[in-house]
Structure 1
Amino acid sequence: MGKYLDLYKQRRNASEAIDALFKNAHHCLVIHYSCESFYDRVDGRTPRITSIAARQLDSGQTRSFSIHKIAEIQKVDLADIERHYDRLEREMLDEFFAFAATHTHCTWLHWNMRDINYGFQALEHRHRVLGGTPFETKDEKKLDLSRLLISIYGVRYAGHPRLESLMKLNRITHQDFLSGKAEAAAWEGREFVKLHQSTLRKVDVMANLAGRAHSRTLATQAPWQDRLHFHPSVIVELVKEHWLYGLLGFVLAGAGVLRLVGVI
């Protein structure tokens, strides 16, 4: 029986976490980044970063960091970016981590940015590889929207890849949005502007989905029992945990007995 109560609490906590973001939306940044493909790598080198976007949840104002913008400022032709990549990437990451260091009060809402493969650790590692000293955001300031949605709606709430499935279910257009496969192709073609536009689009999509989850209007494929995470045994567990539920159960049980004996 404890399993169902745990799922019920998990759903409640995840919903409350999203609600808390919107109560303090001015201090929430939605983050995403694009990088070189991290599949089929044989040399062990970590993927290069191409662009990062950080969108303020309430206003939609977005700060972006990209190698092609750094290249433009430094008068480096797009065709020559690859020859100067280390320097351009380092300066882009310098800018991003300087921004992060001035936003320690903010919570960062992300999608699967959890480890050295793809995540905050990957950004920090690339900065160190290039000779920088990254600012490390505390884990308690990071919220993974993909995991929150699983907690709320269950693992069957959308097919894989879930972000794209949710866009389709909620009729969100794919303009400028690149799938993982398309991003890899864009990297191979050195289409850095296209990668940057996709990164900007993805933070908008994530903010949109978070808003729908907050307003309880997000369309999913979750069966109702997964969506509720509720089971009759939860009532029994709640009664055990809280005296108020116990009192309510006693009153309802008493009413049932009185009906049986014909008093009411």
Structure 2
Amino acid sequence: MFLKSKRLIERKEGLDQLKEILKDKGKALIIHYSCESFVTSHGRTPRVTSISVRSMETAQMKSFSIHIQAQFDGKNFNNLNPEDYDTLEKKMLFEFYKYMKSNKDKKWIHWNMRDSNYGFEAIANRYKILGGNPFHLDDDRKYDFPRILGKIYSYAYEKNKPDGRLLNLAIRNEISTRDTLTGKQEAAAYDDKEYLKLHRSTLRKVDIMDNIIHRTEQDKLKVNLTKVKIYGLTIPGIIEIVKNNWILFSIWTILFYVLGAATEPIVQRYFGLGQ
């Protein structure tokens, strides 16, 4: 009995986390958001422009955005002054946290939303700055999908350049990136007050994430790694590669059968088996 390698143990952890998320898709939500550039915010918490949340079971989308809130308030979202923006952003985040609180028992799947620069904490800090009281979602309800992918495939599953892992992975898997913006493009869109563009990009990225999760579940996701890198260059790893490839498994079975048939007379001759 072969002991499993560290790579296979980590891979099993990732697959178990994926199974945990997807065992009840009615309780799984995908979240992504867009915000002001970290560079142009000059060290302060970046303003939030839009947040999108998608149900994995129904594919229904819940959106919170500056341009929608501006229309609710009868404002021209192409011509907002800083005071207008603060008011609209606070209202938008109030609605977001109300939604989060009503879905606090769901599993929130995200893409690198881990810290005070970009993540749940950054959104909460922004709301506090505006005078709000954010709802605290328990950390065990948050699932960082890139980390799960890293455990399943190893952390070199995709390159960061030129457009970031999410979009690079989408392109590799021929998933539409229509309406998406890169980091630089999002910064430019914010500076140009193109909030609708930012919102569309957020919506599309949530759709991409859903597609990537589905392909991972079906074991059809293409990554920037060989099977050896995914499973590890060990005897257990090689066995896993063979088990997960029907062509290799068929060849292995035939070779094992031929080898057994060829060695059977020798075994019987020297050990007297079958007499």
Per the normalisation by structure 2, the TM-score is 0.82
- C-alpha separation between the residues in 1 aligned to 2:143 and 2:86? 30
Residues 1-264 of structure 1: pairs in structure 2 closer than 5 A:
5-39=5-39, 41-42=41-42, 44-83=43-82, 84-160=84-160, 161-229=164-232, 231-232=234-235, 262=271
Alignment-derived partner of residue 263 in structure 2: none
- C-alpha separation between the residues in 1 aligned to 2:106 and 2:78? 37
- The range that moved more, 167-176 or 109-118, is 167-176
Instruction: Give the RMSD, CA atoms, in angstroms.
Output: 2.3
- C-alpha separation between the residues in 1 aligned to 2:54 and 2:236? 42
What stretches of structure 1 of length at least 5 have no aligned partner? Answer: 236-257
Instruction: Give CA deviations for 1:209-244 in whole Å, capped at 9, x if unaligned.
Output: 001001100011211122224623789xxxxxxxxx
Cα distance change of structure 1 residues 259 and 117 upon mapping to structure 2, 3 Å threshold: farther
Cα distance change of structure 1 residues 263 and 81 upon mapping to structure 2, 3 Å threshold: farther
- C-alpha separation between the residues in 1 aligned to 2:192 and 2:99? 29
Verify the 8 A CA contact 2:67 2:196 in the aligned structure 1: yes
Structure 1 residue 259: Cα displacement: 5.2
Aligned residues: 241
- The range that moved more, 218-227 or 67-76, is 218-227
Verify the 8 A CA contact 1:36 1:49 in the aligned structure 2: yes
Structure 1 residue 146: Cα displacement: 0.8
Structure 1 residue 151: Cα displacement: 1.1
- C-alpha separation between the residues in 2 aligned to 1:136 and 1:156? 32
Q: What amino acid is aligned across from residue 184 of structure 1 in structure 2? A: A
Q: Which has the larger radius of gyration?
A: 2
Verify the 8 A CA contact 1:8 1:230 in the aligned structure 2: no
Q: What amino acid is aligned across from residue 129 of structure 2 in structure 1? A: V
SS of alignment partner, residue 30 of structure 1: strand
Verify the 8 A CA contact 1:4 1:229 in the aligned structure 2: no
Structure 1 residue 194: Cα displacement: 0.5
Instruction: Give CA deviations for 1:54-85 in whole Å, capped at 9, x if unaligned.
Output: 00012110100001111101101123323301
Cα distance change of structure 1 residues 140 and 259 upon mapping to structure 2, 3 Å threshold: farther
Verify the 8 A CA contact 2:66 2:77 in the aligned structure 1: no
SS of alignment partner, residue 20 of structure 2: helix
Percentage of matched positions with identical amino acids: 38
Verify the 8 A CA contact 1:31 1:108 in the aligned structure 2: yes
